[in-house]
Amino acid sequence: MSEWIGNGLAGWAEQLLAREFDTLLVDEPSPQVLRVTLNRPEASNAFNTQCGHELFAVFHPLELDRERFRCVILTGAGDKAFCAGGDLKERKLLTEDEWVAQHEFFERTFRHVINCPVPVIAAVNGAAYGGGLELILQCDFAYASRNARFALSEVTLGIMPGGGGTQTLPRIVGERRAKELILAARPFSAEEAHAWGVVNLVCEQEALMDQTLAIARRIASNAPLAVRQAKHSIHHGLQMDINSALMFEIEAYQRMVKSEDRIEGVRAFNEKRAPVFKGR
- Each residue of 59-98: pLDDT tens digit? 988 888 777 899 999 999 999 999 998 887 878 787 888 8
Asked if 28 is an active-site residue, the reply is: no
Does residue 240 sit in the same domain as residue 165? no
Query: 235 and 213, same structural domain?
Result: no
CA–CA dist 29, 48 (Å, integer):
26
Residue 60 within a domain = yes
Catalytic residue among 20, 104, 154, 180: 154
Beta strands in 13-165 (DSSP E): 24-30, 33-38, 71-76, 81-83, 120-124, 127-129, 141-145, 149-151
Residue 278 lies in a domain: no
pLDDT given for residue 275 in this prediction:
86
Same domain, residue pair 70 and 144: yes
Exactly one of 3, 63, 134, 271 is catalytic; name it: 134
Percent of the chain at pLDDT exceeding 70: 96
Domain count of the fold of the chain = 2
Annotated active-site residue 107? The verdict is no
* Same domain assignment for residues 135 and 255: no
pLDDT at 8: 54
SS3 276: coil
Angle at 73 between CA 64 and CA 213, to 5 degrees: 130
Shared domain for 118 and 144, answered yes or no, is yes
* 238 & 139 share domain: no
129 assigned to some structural domain: yes
**CATH no. for residue 249?**
1.10.12.10
Show the domain range for 229.
Answer: 224-270
The last residue of a domain, from among 201, 221, 241: 221
Q: What is the CATH number of the domain that holds 121?
A: 3.90.226.10
Q: Hey, how many other C-beta atoms are within 10 angstroms of the C-beta on 15? A: 12
Per-residue pLDDT of 92-114, as tens digits, reads: 787 888 888 888 888 888 889 99
Helix (H, G, I), strand (E, B) or coil at 11: coil
Looking at 206, 221, 236, the residue that finishes a domain is 221
User: Considering Cα of 10, then 12, then 15, then 17, what sign does the dihedral take?
Assistant: negative
Task: Write the CB contacts of 210 (distance below 8 Å, at least 6 apart in sequence).
Answer: none
Q: What is the pLDDT of residues 132-188, one digit of tens each?
A: 999 999 999 999 999 999 999 999 999 999 899 999 999 999 999 999 999 999 999
C-alpha distances (whole Å) from 184 to each of 151, 161, 176, 251 are: 10, 12, 12, 43
The answer to whether residues 109 and 247 belong to one domain is: no
* 202 CB-contact burial (10 Å; exposed 0-12 / middle 13-18 / buried 19+): buried
**Structure confidence at residue 218 (pLDDT):** 96
Q: What is the DSSP string of 147-165?
A: T-EEE--GGGGT----SSH
| 76 domain-assigned | yes
Q: Quick check: is 275 in a domain?
A: no
